[in-house]
């Protein structure tokens, strides 16, 4: 019996690889051959799933201010992670969500818990979730973050401070779930101002005069609408009675082009996002003007519900994107919304074939409402309206 002990370099062998040993013994004219096959097994099938979780946030927050925070997940293992769920739970009595990119798959307004679904995360790849939060009350909130895949999971929590006084440049904390938090000083924040979402490169400058241009363009569109819709033509029906046909459709193209210019200004210069939400709000406004024109032209109440439905839809779109508003924003939206629908209802009940009084009030207040909703989208994405 001859025993030979051999070793292999495990680092150079792949899991499942076969090592073939050939033995040949020869004595005189006699020869014998044998073969032995060994399959490399590194244990666990060679799969080592692992996950890192990093949370970036302002450790000190100013009451009433908004901040951009991020959660980054990275696959640090050697197998693709699948069927992932990221849950970020913030204390709803102290902090409120404003918006998120990408948008969450589910959100509980009572518990302030946001959930994102992640189909898969390949080896070495990472994914970042950005969300804006607002400090609503003084305290020491704790945020709980959990990322769970079929192959691996990671949970962590961090504490913050919410204060009333402003401090120069509060630190931004980059905290990994597997390591000690590192303090990274923020950049681009003016002295004695908190570093808000607009301190990031995602939000460009949007000066007050840009908003003034937007408001003037809205007024130009409204004036164009008034100019053509106010035209009246007296006609006679088959019974010999005279009635008024009010309004010309020539307003449609110039108003549409003006709204397109407003859309481009807000998305390309003021970084209002998401663009599709802004487009839908402006479309609802445009169609509401068309419905109002149709109603006052024909004096037929079957067109009556269209205007309030479209205005309500515009508000709902803004709310779905940004469900947590400052008090003054909420007041402005409610005031313009109530005035728009109230004056519209007053016009409808007073209107007949000879009387089109108060037809101009509802579009006026609807225009004010749309301007506020545009500011809401900017505020939700960047944390502020003017920068």
Residue 89 has pLDDT above 80, yes or no: yes
pLDDT band at 259 (very low <50, low <70, confident <90, very high): very high
Tell me how far apart the alpha carbons of residues 307 and 285 are, in angstroms, rounded to a whole number. Answer: 9
pLDDT of residue 173: 54
The predicted-structure confidence for 161-205, as pLDDT tens digits, reads as follows 877 655 455 555 555 554 333 333 333 333 333 333 333 445 567
Radius of gyration, alpha carbons of the chain? 32
Tokens 């804006």 correspond to: 132
| Beta bridge mates, 189 | none
Note the pLDDT of residue 288.
93
What is the CATH code of the structural domain delimited by 51-198?
Answer: 2.60.40.10
Quote the tokens at residue 13: 């062998």
Instruction: Provide the residue ranges of all domains of the chain, joining segments of one domain with +.
Output: 10-45, 51-198, 208-382
- pLDDT band at residue 8, thresholds of 50, 70 and 90? low
Residues in the chain: 387
- Measured CA to CA, the distance from residue 255 to residue 286 in angstroms comes to 8
For 35-96, the DSSP string reads EEEEE---SGGG----EEEEEEEESEEETT-EEEEEEEEEE-SSS-EEEEEEEEE--TTTEE
Residue 212's DSSP bridge partners are none
Q: Model confidence over 294-318: pLDDT tens digits?
A: 887 776 667 778 999 999 999 999 9
Phi (first) and psi of residue 135, to 5 degrees: -80, 115
Residue 136 has what pLDDT? 81
Return the biggest CA–CA distance within the chain: 133
pLDDT confidence of 356, banded at 50, 70, 90?
low
Characterise 133 by phi-psi region: left (phi > 0), alpha (psi -120 to 50), beta (else): beta
Q: State the pLDDT at residue 246.
A: 67
């Amino acid at each position: 019996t001859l025993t030979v002990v051999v070793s292999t370099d495990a680092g150079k062998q792949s899991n499942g690889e076969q090592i073939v040993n050939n033995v040949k013994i020869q004595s005189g004219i006699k020869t014998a051959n044998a073969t032995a096959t060994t399959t490399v097994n590194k244990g666990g099938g060679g799969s080592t799933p692992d996950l890192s979780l990093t949370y970036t946030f302002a450790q000190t927050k100013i009451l009433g201010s908004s901040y951009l925070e991020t959660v980054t997940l990275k696959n640090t293992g050697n197998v693709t992670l699948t069927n992932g769920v990221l849950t970020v739970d913030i204390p709803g009595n102290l902090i409120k969500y404003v918006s998120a990119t990408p948008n969450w798959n589910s959100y509980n307004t009572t518990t302030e818990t946001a959930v994102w679904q992640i189909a898969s995360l390949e080896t070495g790849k990472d994914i970042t979730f950005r969300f804006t939060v607002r400090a609503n009350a003084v305290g020491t909130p704790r945020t709980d973050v959990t990322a769970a895949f079929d192959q691996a999971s990671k949970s962590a929590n961090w504490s913050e401070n919410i204060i009333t006084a402003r401090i120069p440049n509060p630190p931004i904390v980059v905290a990994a779930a597997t390591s000690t938090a590192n303090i990274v000083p923020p950049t681009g924040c003016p002295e004695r101002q908190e570093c808000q979402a607009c301190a990031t490169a995602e939000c460009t400058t949007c000066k007050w005069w840009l908003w003034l241009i937007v408001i003037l363009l809205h007024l130009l569109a409204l004036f164009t609408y008034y100019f053509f819709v106010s035209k009246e033509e007296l006609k006679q029906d088959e019974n010999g009675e005279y009635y008024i046909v009010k309004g010309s459709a020539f307003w449609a193209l110039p108003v549409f082009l003006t709204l397109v210019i407003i859309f481009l200004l807000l998305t390309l210069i003021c970084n209002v996002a998401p663009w599709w939400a802004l487009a839908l709000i402006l479309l609802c406004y445009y169609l509401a003007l068309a419905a109002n024109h149709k109603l006052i032209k024909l004096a037929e109440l079957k067109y009556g519900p269209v205007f309030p439905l479209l205005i309500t839809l515009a508000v709902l779109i803004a709310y779905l994107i940004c469900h947590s508003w400052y008090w003054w924003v909420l007041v402005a939206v409610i005031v313009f919304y109530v005035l728009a629908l109230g004056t519209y209802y007053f016009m409808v009940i007073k209107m007949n074939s000879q009387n089109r009084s108060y037809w101009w009030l509802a579009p006026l207040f609807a225009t004010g409402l749309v301007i506020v909703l545009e500011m809401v989208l900017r505020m939700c994405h960047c944390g502020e309206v003017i920068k």
